[in-house]
Structure 1
């Protein structure tokens, strides 16, 4: 069936009209955006207009007519729409300024501030998680720099300021000697909830469980017998926020429990799924509450205590478990209390709430000239469900490109290769996707140099394929919810 030209024109005109109204409709929000990011903020809002509606049929009709299907318009949404309409005979006195080149240049400029100059032979920057063991190896840092490390990541959740400083001094020294730039990224720990065993298994640090079993979530072991499995999330306020039916994930989602009953002494959980190899709950393993609205600050007292060190040494700051725009505002205020020269913040998207609030987080980020986003796929997969990870990580990438904001692809990149020296076929494919991001983060392992060399080869081959995708736009829940939240 031939596309109906009149229907196409009407659909495009409706979208164009709504995009043209963005500067006026969002004048208050846009008035707080940094002048250098104003076009980026407008482009993000216009992209959200496009993505709050299912336009799959429109895209198909445009494609059949040999026109742009708007499939790669993230960085220049309104401009692309107007260009398509011009092909149909519509003229515009004023053309949107967010062209593809403008968006690409903005991402590159910010990427250079965050990650330094990209190594000439590297399409993406590489962020390497520092291991104190590197200090004992004479040429470890030098070899990492020579093989592509552009950013050194120090996780403030581990070790001490003394160890962090030793690593930073070594990195700075080797960087100067090799004449290879290397940024220092300090990752705040955030409110990472971990299992505390309060009763059975406390001494051993682990306790055996089975599917269908009842266990307890409580603040203390009082009022429980020694035979009861009682765990605590190690953070006050969590248990009282839970509701019946909500899910609780333990050990990176290997164990799933559901809240069955709320009692004065604690919360009764039922083990609904056990995918762990040895059917045991271990102390210090992560615990997630994806369905619960927890009254926990994303910026902990420990994080605040780390800020003087961060301000003295960091080129960029990683904000772990950020959930909403006010979290970022608070962190920047805390950093500014030490100096007006606040380092760029990288938002770690690792909770369902952060995904839902991503447009607001990006707009808050654009109140300053430079910031970035890390897709932290570890906790994120647990929070949103493993089966949704592919979908969500792409949605985050699209929105960040629309906001002209660089992305770090993180967690388990070439994990098997890093730990065992042998890569799986699946993770090679994943690394190919990772190379589309402006930066790739790798964790600790015994084969870091091999990972860097493999990533370089994959990136060189994959980058040339980036523009061959033709995306189909169903409605995007994040975009739809953004506009619904304004009208409610």
Structure 2
């Protein structure tokens, strides 16, 4: 059974019901909706489809809305894409005519010409294309193509010194956040976070009661690397966004930064997603490159909780095959011996007792050879803590709350299972066993480890372990 989770972006290739069903059946754990593309009504409809299929398939599938952030983008290209050749001139326009072609394209920056200087490098298509500035002409910028490639509509741009000129949370982010809250999604991806305060600012905008989605800042700027400790503490989970990070930092540094970010998250007991170009060639090819297979396997060995697919499943020709390939590679890598990185004694929340109990439960479960660790939970925190120690036995996060189960869909090794509400502690444990048996995790005569918090008004504590035989 694969323990690493898979996040897949849905788009034109997978937004209809049948392709989406095939994608989920292939093994997707969390569906990502990129608010930088399509409108909010489309994303809301996609969330509803995911929920419908989740019921049909009998699985808890999480939903993540990725806020667009202040990312600078090129504009619309006629017919969707154009090829830029080395040495040609190309105009970046401050005004949008909606008709980009091989000679020019608009950008989201009306004052672009004031931000760049001659000989500055400008990166298009998320870094794949490099332009060199020749001069500014009014609101336009005249450039030479240094490294050509395929430019598609609304792709990311990077400009020198741009970060200091933009706010991390935009009006479009506010609209996307409102939609995400109304749709009761499980996770919110925060783009171009620079410091912990950027995370807390968005958290203050969440409802005080009811559904509060988990916040997932994306580490994709040099400033975020400088402030990594604070961002990880402020986050509910973290995404290693290697595309934009690879533009702002030397390419040779990105593999090492990936390992460092994952290690920080492992030590804090926070879930971490590794993203960008993991199986990109499968956007057009039924098979990945060997380098991509190595990339996926190494992210698993680094300790990532989840792997993410972007264009591969949003616009690719082989979305479900890509998910199955990623699943096979991840499961194979999980079988390779690796040194587990145990979280700090107090975790990120400072609850020494809860983390000590979770650690002791994992040690006991492995020494006794239990079939599974069952975590009845009201908040999801017990399952989070147990999973942080990367036990060799399956983990079931068991709850009556769809929000809690959605949150657990991202956590390494945790199988989210729903049970009916019951106030009797003994009956709660019995229902947990029934759910685990139905899921195929346990059989008659198996030993089980229960890890849970004592009954009381405060959800989130972990203070009890019980070993039982089915």
Matches within 5 A, 1:401-416: 401-416=266-281
* Cross-structure match for 1:154: 33
* Cross-structure match for 2:165: 295
Deviation at 1:393, TM superposition (A): 1.6
Distance 1:177 1:285, change over 3 A: closer
Q: Paired residue for 1:323, among 188, 191, 194?
A: 194
Higher relative contact order (CA 8 A, sep 6+): 1
Structure 2, unpaired ranges of 5+: 97-102, 342-470
1:163 is aligned to 2:28? no
Deviation at 1:429, TM superposition (A): 0.6
Deviation at 1:202, TM superposition (A): 9.4
* Cross-structure match for 1:376: 241
Q: Which runs of 4+ in 1 moved over 4 A?
A: 201-210, 213-218, 229-232, 236-239, 241-246, 258-261, 266-270, 338-341
* Cross-structure match for 2:259: 394
Confirm or deny: 8 A CA contact 2:116 2:160 kept in the other structure: no
CA distance in 1, matches of 2:130, 2:124: 6
Distance 1:466 1:257, change over 3 A: farther
CA distance in 2, matches of 1:408, 1:428: 17
2:278 aligned counterpart, secondary structure: coil
2:8 aligned counterpart, secondary structure: strand
TM, length-normalised to structure 2: 0.61
Distance 1:180 1:233, change over 3 A: same
> Which has the greater radius of gyration?
1
* Cross-structure match for 2:114: 240
Deviation at 1:469, TM superposition (A): 9.8
2:164 aligned counterpart, secondary structure: coil
CA distance in 2, matches of 1:466, 1:397: 18
Q: Which of the pair is proportionally richer in helix? A: 1
TM, length-normalised to structure 1: 0.59
Distance 1:235 1:422, change over 3 A: same
Deviation at 1:356, TM superposition (A): 2.5
Matches within 5 A, 1:426-445: 426-435=291-300, 436-443=303-310, 444=313, 445=316
Q: Which of the pair is proportionally richer in strand? A: 2
Q: Paired residue for 1:417, among 282, 285, 290?
A: 282
Structure 1, unpaired ranges of 5+: 1-120, 222-228, 366-370, 471-488
CA RMSD of aligned residues (A): 3.5
1:192 is aligned to 2:77? no
Deviation at 1:275, TM superposition (A): 3.9
Matches within 5 A, 1:117-128: 121-128=1-8
Deviation at 1:430, TM superposition (A): 0.8
Confirm or deny: 8 A CA contact 2:113 2:138 kept in the other structure: no
CA distance in 2, matches of 1:343, 1:329: 13
Deviation at 1:235, TM superposition (A): 2.2
- Number of positions where the alignment pairs a residue of Structure 1 with one of Structure 2: 329
Distance 1:398 1:215, change over 3 A: same
CA distance in 2, matches of 1:428, 1:203: 32
* Cross-structure match for 1:179: 58
The CA deviation string for residues 193-241 of structure 1, in whole angstroms up to 9 with x for no partner, is 22359xxx99998696653x776656459xxxxxxx7765322455434
The CA deviation string for residues 146-201 of structure 1, in whole angstroms up to 9 with x for no partner, is 3321111111222233322332222212212322111111111222322359xxx9
Confirm or deny: 8 A CA contact 1:237 1:294 kept in the other structure: no
